[in-house]
Chains A and B, each alone.
Chain A
């Protein structure tokens, strides 16, 4: 008999489009956790591990982005979706908001705009301002996309995982993983948005107790970005996971460990702490 965790689905309408979300886990003394996925992601794609495992600990809410109307996607569109879900489910606040990758940029801006409704913030593999290194990678991606290249998903997979993780698998395994990626017009818009991020000023004004998680072998959003967030956000502490950008797959359990500890006791480490890695 499988442990089919009970969950509830909900939807809110934002700018004329319906945004679907999922709620699970008991209400207890922990602040509800809201999960925001990243580029080309979804609840199951990026939080397939964290969502159910955290729901054994506490109330968890996660949303799937919906494609807004219009040609270009702006950070504000995604922020509006996150705000709407929080307002629908935890109208009085406070919440712990977690974002991964582009979702971390969305979460940071949401925290800035919502003030004390976002008591705690977790930013995994996020960034503050798109830099040349990212633009270069994004540009290659754009060219492959314009050429309708079959190699594009393999390129994305190559960029996403650390060498150590890949080397535990075969080339066939990795190609199979690449084959699962689907690129939609909405992903095109997200990739374009990725080239234009700048939330440096807003990060200075974030009041939430923040955990920044950088990934040692991240080639997509190298860890210096997380260090920049750690510096910019006043009440921030920093942890590092030895993984590639795809930390939600590569080191899901270690990511869970940091999320679990932080949501249980956000002030366990004072602002400015570089949290030492657990040495098993």
Chain B
């Protein structure tokens, strides 16, 4: 069965859904969104581990055009974010446009028909425009661990939590000490008889200014929407301020460091543990974490910090690279995602028949962080150089959706059949980004992070500037960067 549509969106997280909502609001009905899972939400559907919450305040971490007065906390739990995304999809009438359980397997640009041919687990789609919103933290990364198959207990990844496994009184190993791990660890410490955390490198952590909103505050937000607008502005610009740390300016970096050091020393009294929890790279080089509960949990009686990576497993023993072994019942992998080489790229083949993944053999890149030469009529949301170390990803997504709306308008007005970014424009854009990235904490901070592509040493995931400048630079369509071919006029 072949389904034809003007516009095909892949994925229904904040990105794909945000795109769908704007299309719908603009009166464009001829679009379909395919989603490999059975619900919208992406990240927030898949991550339901104990303790999950956002780390950008909820009033900002949501669509600007669909404010929610009812967030329960400053940093709302994941379930609430998922319910919010679901409600947005329902209220905006998007659900009928979504084909669930439809996995994009292979998309090929067909030069003859000037269409994308998209093979999925539910048949073939043919679309004039292909828009990916497949996320950059969507596919869990499992490190290859020697002997893991022999583990006699339960094993799962943080983004695929097995709630059927009872954890009460168990000996639990948590692998990793990144953003997910620091939310999981305090919850595990509460229920485990013993808990071991395998830490490859110590993260920087600062306090989390979290609290519950009162019913009165929520009513205030419902009664006066300008309160939410003011809050968004306040949260956004105070987040923007922190870009100066990522920019690696001594004064601001040192302020952040002092906050992190003070936080660590206030909670950790044991000098050995303090040494293990002290990072050996510059603050902000890896994701700066926020938590009030991680340090107390790691300092608890039933917790052990193994300051080395999990190396091998044998039966019910798990060994760190240091050689120390621990007897465990459960192993939780909070080891992050396939971000540097996103799996969707291996499934998209352009005009020369090469996959985007192969094309990106020196790392991801795209003009205006959205379009790739050789891949006509394709727009990528939340792809190369869109990540932020300091502010809300939804803000970036909205800017990219605006850009695509501008492009679609031009395509329609001028009856464009093929739109392809110029190679020279793409290269010039990347050169500009490379220059901007020099000296930033991601490149100069002395750490190995998923923001940088090993193969080229280039910063391929992060937008190396303020979030607001992403919108200034990439929030409107730039026709000058593209070759555009009008459709031939049909003979009467």
Contact residues of A with B, CB < 8 Å?
Answer: 1-5, 48-49, 52-53, 56, 164, 168, 242, 251-254, 256-257, 260-261, 277-280
Pairwise interchain contact B469-A3, C-beta atoms closer than 8 A: no
Least Cβ–Cβ distance between A30 and chain B, in angstroms: 14
Point out the residues of chain B lying under 8 angstroms from A279, CB to CB: 64, 229, 232-233
Asked if B431 CB lies within 8 Å of chain A CBs, one says: no
The docked-state distance in angstroms from the alpha carbon of A198 to that of B129 is 61
Asked if B196 CB lies within 8 Å of chain A CBs, one says: no
Q: Which residue of B lies closest to A4 (CB)?
A: B250
Pairwise interchain contact A261-B472, C-beta atoms closer than 8 A: yes
Pairwise interchain contact A260-B469, C-beta atoms closer than 8 A: yes
Asked if B131 CB lies within 8 Å of chain A CBs, one says: no
The docked-state distance in angstroms from the alpha carbon of A32 to that of B64 is 36
Which of A2, A53, A168, A256 has the most chain B CB atoms closer than 10 A to its own CB?
A2
- State which of B60, B236, B237, B248 has its C-beta within 8 Å of the C-beta of A2: B248
Q: Which residue of A lies closest to B398 (CB)?
A: A280
Point out the residues of chain A lying under 8 angstroms from B247, CB to CB: 3, 52-53, 56
Interface of A is mostly: loop
Chain B positions 227-261 with a Cβ under 8 Å from a chain A Cβ: 229-230, 232-234, 236-238, 240-241, 243-244, 247-253
Q: Which residue of B lies closest to A280 (CB)?
A: B236
- State which of B237, B238, B248, B446 has its C-beta within 8 Å of the C-beta of A3: B248
Chain B positions 451-474 with a Cβ under 8 Å from a chain A Cβ: 466-469, 471-472
Least Cβ–Cβ distance between B485 and chain A, in angstroms: 31
Asked if B55 CB lies within 8 Å of chain A CBs, one says: no
Point out the residues of chain A lying under 8 angstroms from B472, CB to CB: 257, 261
Least Cβ–Cβ distance between B189 and chain A, in angstroms: 29
Pairwise interchain contact B251-A1, C-beta atoms closer than 8 A: no
Pairwise interchain contact A1-B233, C-beta atoms closer than 8 A: no
Point out the residues of chain A lying under 8 angstroms from B466, CB to CB: 253, 256-257
A49-B234 CB under 8 A given contacts A1-B446, A3-B439: no
Q: Kindly supply a per-residue 1/0 record for chain B positions 295-334, scoring 1 wherever the CB is within 8 Å of any chain A CB and 0 otherwise.
A: 0000000000000000000000000000000000000000
Least Cβ–Cβ distance between B226 and chain A, in angstroms: 11
Pairwise interchain contact B236-A252, C-beta atoms closer than 8 A: no
Pairwise interchain contact A242-B230, C-beta atoms closer than 8 A: yes
Point out the residues of chain B lying under 8 angstroms from A256, CB to CB: 466
Asked if B337 CB lies within 8 Å of chain A CBs, one says: no
Least Cβ–Cβ distance between A270 and chain B, in angstroms: 19
Pairwise interchain contact B244-A49, C-beta atoms closer than 8 A: yes
Asked if B282 CB lies within 8 Å of chain A CBs, one says: yes
Least Cβ–Cβ distance between A125 and chain B, in angstroms: 16
Pairwise interchain contact B243-A242, C-beta atoms closer than 8 A: no
Can you give 11 A-B contacts (C-beta < 8 A)? A2-B250, A3-B249, A5-B249, A56-B436, A164-B230, A253-B468, A254-B237, A257-B466, A260-B469, A280-B232, A280-B233
The docked-state distance in angstroms from the alpha carbon of A256 to that of B469 is 10
Point out the residues of chain A lying under 8 angstroms from B444, CB to CB: 1-3
The docked-state distance in angstroms from the alpha carbon of A143 to that of B444 is 51
Which of B248, B249, B445 has the most chain A CB atoms closer than 10 A to its own CB?
B249
Pairwise interchain contact B282-A1, C-beta atoms closer than 8 A: yes
Asked if B31 CB lies within 8 Å of chain A CBs, one says: no
Point out the residues of chain A lying under 8 angstroms from B252, CB to CB: 49
A280-B64 CB under 8 A given contacts A2-B248, A242-B233: yes
Q: Which residue of A lies closest to B236 (CB)?
A: A280
Least Cβ–Cβ distance between B292 and chain A, in angstroms: 16
Asked if B429 CB lies within 8 Å of chain A CBs, one says: no
Point out the residues of chain A lying under 8 angstroms from B177, CB to CB: none
The docked-state distance in angstroms from the alpha carbon of A148 to that of B121 is 79
Pairwise interchain contact A253-B240, C-beta atoms closer than 8 A: yes
A277-B233 CB under 8 A given contacts A3-B439, A253-B243, A254-B240: yes
Q: Which residue of A lies closest to B439 (CB)?
A: A3
By Cβ-Cβ distance, the 6 closest A-B pairs, closest first, are: A253-B240, A280-B236, A3-B248, A3-B439, A253-B241, A254-B237
Pairwise interchain contact A3-B440, C-beta atoms closer than 8 A: yes
Point out the residues of chain B lying under 8 angstroms from A164, CB to CB: 230, 234
Point out the residues of chain B lying under 8 angstroms from A53, CB to CB: 244, 247, 249
Q: Which residue of B lies closest to A261 (CB)?
A: B472
Least Cβ–Cβ distance between B245 and chain A, in angstroms: 11
The docked-state distance in angstroms from the alpha carbon of A252 to that of B444 is 24
Point out the residues of chain B lying under 8 angstroms from A4, CB to CB: 250
The docked-state distance in angstroms from the alpha carbon of A251 to that of B253 is 18
Q: Which residue of B lies closest to A251 (CB)?
A: B237
Which of B236, B241, B251 has the most chain A CB atoms closer than 10 A to its own CB?
B241
Q: Which residue of B lies closest to A165 (CB)?
A: B234
Chain B positions 137-194 with a Cβ under 8 Å from a chain A Cβ: none
Pairwise interchain contact A280-B244, C-beta atoms closer than 8 A: no
The docked-state distance in angstroms from the alpha carbon of A252 to that of B240 is 9
Q: Which residue of B lies closest to A257 (CB)?
A: B468
- Beyond contacts A1-B282, A254-B240: 4 other A-B pairs, Cβ-Cβ < 8 A, are A2-B253, A3-B247, A168-B238, A253-B237
Pairwise interchain contact B471-A252, C-beta atoms closer than 8 A: no
Least Cβ–Cβ distance between B393 and chain A, in angstroms: 12
Chain B positions 194-245 with a Cβ under 8 Å from a chain A Cβ: 209, 229-230, 232-234, 236-238, 240-241, 243-244
Point out the residues of chain A lying under 8 angstroms from B244, CB to CB: 49, 52-53
The docked-state distance in angstroms from the alpha carbon of A278 to that of B249 is 26
Point out the residues of chain B lying under 8 angstroms from A280, CB to CB: 60, 64, 232-233, 236-237, 392, 395, 467-468
Point out the residues of chain A lying under 8 angstroms from B209, CB to CB: 168
Least Cβ–Cβ distance between B466 and chain A, in angstroms: 7
Least Cβ–Cβ distance between B396 and chain A, in angstroms: 11
- State which of A1, A254, A278 has its C-beta within 8 Å of the C-beta of B471: A278
The docked-state distance in angstroms from the alpha carbon of A66 to that of B206 is 40
Q: Which residue of A lies closest to B254 (CB)?
A: A2
A252-B241 CB under 8 A given contacts A1-B446, A3-B247, A3-B439: yes
Q: Which residue of A lies closest to B253 (CB)?
A: A2
Least Cβ–Cβ distance between A11 and chain B, in angstroms: 23
Least Cβ–Cβ distance between B347 and chain A, in angstroms: 33
Least Cβ–Cβ distance between A205 and chain B, in angstroms: 33
Point out the residues of chain B lying under 8 angstroms from A168, CB to CB: 209, 238
Least Cβ–Cβ distance between B188 and chain A, in angstroms: 32
Q: Kindly supply a per-residue 1/0 record for chain B positions 426-439, scoring 1 wherever the CB is within 8 Å of any chain A CB and 0 otherwise.
A: 00000000001001
Least Cβ–Cβ distance between A4 and chain B, in angstroms: 7
Point out the residues of chain B lying under 8 angstroms from A56, CB to CB: 247, 436
Chain B positions 347-400 with a Cβ under 8 Å from a chain A Cβ: 392, 395
The docked-state distance in angstroms from the alpha carbon of A71 to that of B469 is 46
Point out the residues of chain B lying under 8 angstroms from A2, CB to CB: 248-250, 253, 282, 444
The docked-state distance in angstroms from the alpha carbon of A13 to that of B240 is 38
Point out the residues of chain B lying under 8 angstroms from A48, CB to CB: 251
Least Cβ–Cβ distance between B355 and chain A, in angstroms: 36
